[in-house]
């Protein structure tokens, strides 16, 4: 019997790990992506997702059961198709054009008994209101009835060595009980535990609850951090003390702001829908967005004030940023607050250098020189700013050699260190 055929549409941070895992589970996988350069690199064994080392990709290619492709024709005869394309915001409005394009591309290959699952983060209702009609009109088939349709949010946490795709519980759903059973059966081959829910809308909302919860709590602690600074209280110590409470408290840490493809965007999908459907504001999200947006500017002001205390102006100062990515141990600079801090410091006339071992050169803001972290670089800087706390950085060396450290991540300590 031939292996089940899976098509994963989108070979990015979400789609590539899923494709690799599915090959390891014995499936025959086509990794579809419209980015021909990305597909070429994948076919030659080059991974751009840190969590997928080249040797893992090489092993998948070596089985002959992983085929990166730009051609929707290669989806023909699929059993399961998972859609993992971007869902960005355009001027505050959800941009579902990638999901639409994926639906239009895969629709003609939908056949009786197959399953299509959306994983892209989106507002409740997308699977049934937007994707289903596209698939039905392109295939002439119906769901429920002829083919299965479901939604399963992705919880992948890039750079997290503990919680990976296969050991993180996966919420699964379908448009009817038969679709749910089929989607659940598929994911049980991929992950250790599935969490079935009774509708695609519940599954879509689950993802938005998770990310809104993080966005709101990060904002809460960021606002407390700014206020504590003005009150002259060490917020980091207070958080550490609070987290000794064994129940009813979950610690969140302050930082220079939020970035990436999820936190600044996903909650806005929910507030957009609440506005559109109910004509109401989702006030927590609006407030959280405001506070988190404020953070890069707060960091810049604190650096200016810190330099001022040492008798230096920010204009003309040589500054070394540690990290440009929005998240530690990754090179993902999408909407990174570190990039925003770098831009603001450049605009103020500073000479900005950045140590970013995972740098994607095309995302480095103009005017910023990427350097290797070394004693000489640290010693030559008027200020070292810890923005992204990659584990590979030698924080002891930084603390020893720097004249002044502004630490947004609580990784350094000593008399020359000022924490956010």
Ligand X SMILES: NC(=O)c1ccc[n+]([C@@H]2O[C@H](COP(=O)([O-])OP(=O)(O)OC[C@H]3O[C@@H](n4cnc5c(N)ncnc54)[C@H](O)[C@@H]3O)[C@@H](O)[C@H]2O)c1
SS3 state at 405? strand
Query: CB-wise, 135 or 239, nearer to ligand X?
Result: 135
Active-site residue flag, 268: no
Query: CB-wise, 228 or 388, nearer to ligand X?
Result: 388
What's the closest the beta carbon of residue 234 comes to ligand X, in angstroms? Answer: 32
Report the distance separating Cα 9 and Cα 70, nearest Å: 10
What's the closest the beta carbon of residue 26 comes to ligand X, in angstroms? Answer: 23
Sign of the dihedral defined by the CA atoms of residues 244, 250, 256, 261, in that order: positive
Picking from 266, 283, 134, the residue whose alpha carbon sits closest to that of residue 204 is 266
Query: CB-wise, 174 or 331, nearer to ligand X?
Result: 331
What's the closest the beta carbon of residue 151 comes to ligand X, in angstroms? Answer: 12
Q: State the pairing for strand pair 93-94/89-90.
A: antiparallel
Radius of gyration of the chain (CA): 23
Query: CB-wise, 95 or 294, nearer to ligand X?
Result: 95
Sign of the dihedral defined by the CA atoms of residues 300, 301, 302, 305, in that order: positive
Residues of the shown chain interacting with ligand X in the complex, contacts defined by CB under 6 A: 9-15, 32-35, 38, 84-87, 98, 101-102, 105, 120-121, 154, 156, 158, 261-262
How many residues appear in the chain? Answer: 420
DSSP assignment of 188-257 equals HTTSS-EEE-S-HHHHHHHHHHHHHHHHHHHHHHHHHHHHHHHHT--HHHHHHHHTT-SSS-------S-
What's the closest the beta carbon of residue 40 comes to ligand X, in angstroms? Answer: 12
Contacts of 136 by beta carbon, 8 Å cutoff, 6+ apart: 142, 143
Catalytic choice (81, 262, 268, 412): 262
Contacts of 177 by beta carbon, 8 Å cutoff, 6+ apart: none
Rounded to 5 degrees, what are φ and ψ at 280? Answer: -120, 160
Question: How many Cα atoms sit within 13 Å of 294 on the Cβ side?
Answer: 18
Contacts of 386 by beta carbon, 8 Å cutoff, 6+ apart: 322, 323, 393, 395, 398, 405, 406, 407, 408, 409, 411, 412
What's the closest the beta carbon of residue 122 comes to ligand X, in angstroms? Answer: 7
What's the closest the beta carbon of residue 97 comes to ligand X, in angstroms? Answer: 8
What's the closest the beta carbon of residue 155 comes to ligand X, in angstroms? Answer: 6
Query: CB-wise, 40 or 301, nearer to ligand X?
Result: 40
- Nearest residue to the partner ligand X, using Cβ: 12
Picking from 105, 113, 112, 111, the residue whose alpha carbon sits closest to that of residue 131 is 105
3-state helix, strand, coil in the chain (%, to 5): 45, 15, 45
Query: CB-wise, 38 or 353, nearer to ligand X?
Result: 38
Query: CB-wise, 68 or 306, nearer to ligand X?
Result: 68
Active site residues: 262
């Amino acid at each position: 019997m031939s292996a089940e055929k899976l098509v994963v549409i989108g070979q990015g941070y979400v789609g590539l790990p899923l494709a690799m895992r599915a090959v390891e589970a014995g499936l025959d996988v086509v990794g579809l992506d419209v980015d021909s350069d990305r597909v070429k690199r994948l076919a030659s064994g080059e991974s751009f997702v840190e969590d997928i080392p080249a040797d893992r990709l090489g092993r998948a290619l070596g089985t002959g059961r992983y085929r990166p492709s730009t051609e929707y024709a290669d989806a023909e005869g699929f059993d399961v198709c998972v859609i993992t394309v971007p869902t960005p915001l355009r001027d505050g409005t959800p941009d579902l054009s990638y999901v639409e394009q994926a639906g239009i591309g895969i629709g003609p290959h939908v056949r009786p008994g197959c399953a299509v699952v959306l994983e892209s983060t989106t507002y409740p209702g997308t699977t049934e209101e937007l994707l289903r009609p596209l698939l039905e009109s392109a295939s002439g088939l119906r769901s429920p009835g002829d083919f299965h349709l479901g939604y399963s949010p992705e919880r992948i946490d890039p750079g997290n060595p503990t919680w990976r795709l296969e050991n993180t519980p996966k919420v699964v759903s379908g448009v009817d009980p038969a679709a749910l059973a089929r989607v659940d059966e598929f994911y049980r081959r991929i992950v250790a535990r599935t969490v079935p829910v009774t509708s695609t809308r519940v599954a879509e909302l689950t993802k938005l609850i998770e990310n809104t919860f993080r966005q709101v709590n990060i904002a809460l602690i960021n606002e407390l951090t700014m206020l504590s600074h003005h009150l002259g209280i060490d917020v980091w110590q207070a958080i550490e003390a609070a987290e000794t409470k064994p129940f009813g408290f979950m610690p969140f840490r302050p930082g220079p702001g939020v970035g990436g493809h999820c936190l600044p965007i996903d909650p806005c999908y929910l507030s957009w829908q609440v506005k559109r459907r109910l004509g109401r504001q989702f006030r927590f999200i609006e407030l959280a967005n405001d506070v988190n947006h404020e953070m890069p500017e707060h960091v810049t002001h604190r650096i200016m004030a810190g330099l001022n205390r040492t008798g230096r102006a920010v204009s003309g100062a040589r500054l070394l940023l540690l990290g440009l990515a929005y998240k530690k141990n990754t090179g993902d600079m999408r909407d990174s607050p570190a990039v925003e801090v770098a831009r603001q410091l450049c605009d103020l006339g500073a000479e900005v250098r950045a140590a970013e071992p995972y740098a994607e050169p095309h995302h480095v803001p103009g005017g910023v020189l990427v350097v290797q972290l070394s004693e000489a670089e640290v010693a030559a800087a008027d200020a070292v700013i810890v923005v992204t706390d990659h584990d590979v950085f030698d924080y002891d060396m930084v603390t020893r050699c720097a004249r002044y450290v502004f630490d947004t991540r609580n990784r350094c300590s000593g008399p020359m260190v000022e924490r956010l």
